[in-house]
Each structure stands twice: as C-alpha cells, then as structure tokens.
Amino acid sequence: MSHTPSVVDAELAKIIQSEPARGHLRALRWLIVAVVFALAGGGFVWFRSGPAADAAPQYQTEPLGRGNLRVTVSATGKLAPINQVDVGSELSGTIETVLVDDNDRVNKGQVLARLDLTKLQNQIAKSKAALTSAEAKVLQAVATVKESRASLGRLRQVAKLSGGKVPAPTELETAEATVDRAVADEASARAAVEEARATLRTNETDLAKASIRSPIDGVVLQRKVESGQTVAASLQAPVLFTLAENLAQMELQVDVDEADVGQVREGQPATFTVDAYPNRSYPARIRQVRFGAETVNNVVTYKTMLNVDNDDLSLRPGMTATAEIVTAERENVLLVPNAALRFTPPPPEAQSGGGGLVASLLPRPPRGLAPRRQSANAKGGKGAARQIWVLRDGQPVAVPVTVGSSDGRMTEVAGEGLEPGLPVITASLGTAR
C-alpha cells in the first residue's frame, strides 16, 4: 500500500502534536498521588496528637492498706569483749617461762609468765645487806650520843664544884655542840635505815612483778611472747597477753551515719548478722550512743554500743556485723506507698495531647514546672500535712493526709475519709482511646 508524501506528513504532524498532551497528563497524575499521601500523613498525625472524644487518662493505683510498720536504721561495725585487758611487763628482762596459751581460761591472780629472777634476787640480797649496815650505824650513833652527853655532864659537874672556875666556857660550849652533832647523826642513821627498808621493799615488789599475773577472770585472746624472749620496758610497757573478761557477754560497736543518729536512742532493740552465720540473726540492744563524731573519708559517723548475749560462744571478737536498729514500730496503721506521696496528676493540656498538630508545633512551657509541683507535695517530714490522690469515678481526687513514720517504701498516713481498700494513685499511665 502506498501513500503520497502529503498524507505521510499529515499523520506525522498528528503524532508530534499529541506528545505534549501525554506529558501533561503524566505530571498531573503524580501531583494527585503526592496530595493524597500528604493528606493521609496529616490525618495520621492529627489522629495521634489531636483530642479524641473517647480519650481518658489512665492511672496506676494501689489499695490503701492497714498493717504494721517497722522502721530500721542500718549500721556496720565489729564485735568486741566488754572488758578487754592488755597485760604487759613493767620490768625489763628475759622471759623464763610462759605458762598459758591462746584460748586458755585464766583466773584473777594466776601466773601467766615469769621473768628470769636471778638479777632481782641479787638486788634483794644487796638491799638487805644495806639495811643491816644502816641499822648498825644507828646503834653507833646512839652510843655516840650517850658518850657525848656523859662528857658534857662531867664538865658541868666540875664547873659546879669549882664555882665556875673550871672548865673554861669554851669547853662547855664544845661539849654541848658535840652532843647536838651526835643527836643529828643518830637521826641521819635512822633515816638511812628507812631508806634501806624502802629500797628493799621496792626490790621485793619488782620480784613479785617478775611473775606476770592475770588481773581478771577471763580468756587469753592473744599470746604475744615466747620463752627466752627479751622484754625491754624502757618507755612503754610491752603487751605480752590480751585477755577478755567474759566472752559470753560482748558488745557490738557500730558506726551510725549522721543522717540517722537522730533516730537512735539508748534501749532500742536491734538485730545483726555476721558473715560466719549468714542465716542466723542475733538480738542486741543499744547501751550507749556517743556524742563524739568520727570522720572517715569525709563521712561523719557516731559510735554506738550494743550489748550482745553470746552464751553459746558462737560470736568471736573482731567479727564484722551488719545491724538493723529498730527505731519505730507502728501496729495496725494505714499505709500508702511512698510513690503516692510524690504523685501529682499531669496538667489538662498534657492529658489532651496538646491540641493536635498545630498545638504540637507551638512553643510549650518549660518542663521544669511539673517536677516543681510534684516536689511541693513531697516536702514535709513526720507529722506534716500532705496529700494523696485517689481514683473516684475515673477521676483523680486530692485527699489531705498527715504522714507518720516511713520505712523507705511505705508511709503511715492518717486523715478524714481514709479507709482500707481506697484506690490510691501512684503513677500516670497516659491516655486510652
């Protein structure tokens, strides 16, 4: 089939004229698709952020309960004997024998160890000889006094018979001076006797101290000396034995933090555990809370003493113990979780989602305002007026309460309208549609 050139040119012109129309149609289709997607995304965002007729805030609640509350303070420390004595030696010398060992029971006055007595015995013998010599000098002084007085008496008699002519006055004065000197020598000799006796008593005391005796009835905790060891007691008495008076009665020395010491008082009960018996709890009672503070690594603590019964001797000095001191016990009181005292409902704009897409783009107040409102409810200690929020007909309602003791998880509350089972709000769970 053949065509003339004019017919071919006309068909080619129609094809060329139809291409722009097709391009415009294709662009229009893409524009429609983009608009549809934009509308769908905007609707989704509005649905997520905008208010809904059936949106309602949801809360986590716990029923108000009645029970017993026990408030405790934790502290750590070490066990020690009530009366622990370090036994030493006042004398220097060589240990001749040691008569006791660790864990031995000893009685008051019992010899624990003995020094070499040779030197001390020689000193006693020397002191006795010095005392004998001093006593002999006293006898000599007494005889001299008698002799000088007799000589003075004769001179006075001669002077009387001679009418004062003989002897000369100087002779009489010399004789009187001789008597006074003899009396003074006698007194000095007697004083020397007392000095010699004191020296002898000192040496005898040293001999007694050479036998190191127990000052108490108790148990030997440590023996720090061996036979043949030299003891040098020049400036400070060396410790040879450490004794405990009665291990059946011990004390627990714990360090109470300064934040808790205001709750701790004498007579309060406590329990403690030690690593040696982790499944066993021991009773104790506070005997003393010291006023003096101790600072270790910038932490201020106060030493507290607790009396401990150790009849079975299972506890040993030096054991590390963790004590729980009971500072308050409340029975049959209303209790709420501490989270309920810290809870504050979110503001209405937070519950409604902020007003949709437009509101989400607008600036919002600082986030710090909500925590400030919550902290205002959390302030106040024991006896302070606070409030909790309860759920009534699906809405949070504030109820004023007076708080009491707290164990860190539950707090005692009192107030009008409070009864067991009341749903107390502890947290907000958001909204449900």
Please tell me whether residues 360 and 423 are part of one structural domain.
yes
83 CB neighbour count, 10 Å cutoff: 13
| Cα distance between residue 86 and residue 240, in whole Å | 7
Would you state the pLDDT for residue 392? 87
Distances in whole angstroms, Cα of residue 264 to Cα of each of 282, 296, 410, 416? 19, 20, 20, 32
What DSSP line would sit under 315-354, residue for residue? --TT-EEEEEEEEEEEEEEEEEEHHHHH--PPPHHHHTTT
Asked if residue 202 and residue 143 are part of one domain, the reply reads yes
Q: Which two tokens stand for residue 72?
A: 């405790």
Q: Which helix (H) or strand (E) holds 176?
A: helix 169-209
Cα dist. 133→127, 138, 142 in Å?
Answer: 10, 9, 14
Q: What percent of the chain has pLDDT over 70?
A: 78
Q: What is the mean pLDDT of residues 403-418?
A: 89
Domain residue limits at 302: 73-82+249-330
Higher pLDDT, 187 or 431: 187
201 shares its domain with 124: yes
Residue with tokens 């997607």: 37
The domain spanning residue 106 has which CATH number?
A: 2.40.50.100
What CATH number did the domain enclosing 282 receive?
2.40.30.170
Query: Residue 284 and residue 265: Cα distance in Å, rounded?
Result: 13
Q: What is the mean pLDDT of the chain?
A: 84
162 and 303 both lie in a single domain: no
Note whether 305 and 391 are within 8 A (CB).
no
Tokens standing for residue 315: 């506890």
Over the stretch 252-303, which tens digit does the pLDDT of each residue have?
999 999 999 999 999 999 999 999 999 999 999 999 999 999 998 999 999 9
pLDDT at 395: 87
- Give Cα 159 to chain centroid, integer Å: 93
Tens of pLDDT, residue by residue over 92-128, are 999 999 999 999 999 999 999 999 999 999 999 999 9
Residues with Cβ within 8 Å of 394's Cβ and at least 6 positions away in sequence, in order, are 56
HSE value, Cβ hemisphere, 13 Å, CA-based, for 138: 14
In the listed set 279, 309, 330, which residue is the last one of a domain according to the structure?
330
Q: What is the pLDDT of residues 220-238, one digit of tens each?
A: 999 999 999 999 887 777 8
The beta strand positions in 338-394, using DSSP E, are: 385-392
DSSP designation for 261: G
- CA-based nearest residue to 211, from 106, 110, 108, 101: 110
* 29/36 Cα distance (integer angstroms): 11
**Count of domains observed in the chain:** 5
pLDDT tens digits for 413-423?
Answer: 998 888 898 99
Q: In DSSP terms, which residues pair with 427 in a beta bridge?
A: 60
Report the C-alpha gap between 215 and 194 in whole angstroms: 31
Residue 363, pLDDT score: 54
pLDDT for 349: 56
Asked if 306 and 369 sit in the same domain, the reply is no
Residues 7 and 96 in one domain: no
Decide: 225 and 135 in contact? Cβ < 8 Å: no
284: β partners: 270
- Going from the C-alpha of 75 to that of each of 84, 135, 270, 353, the distances in angstroms are 23, 69, 10, 48
Q: For 323-372, write each residue's pLDDT tens digit.
A: 999 998 889 999 999 999 998 887 765 555 444 444 454 555 554 444 44
Residue 170 and residue 234 share a domain: no
CB-count exposure of residue 365 (10 Å: 0-12, 13-18, 19+): exposed
Both 290 and 369 in a single domain? no
Report CA 105 to chain centroid distance, whole Å.
Answer: 32
**230 and 179 assigned to the same domain:** no
Same domain for 403 and 258: no
**Same domain? 322 vs 374:** no
Residues 322 and 407 in one domain: no
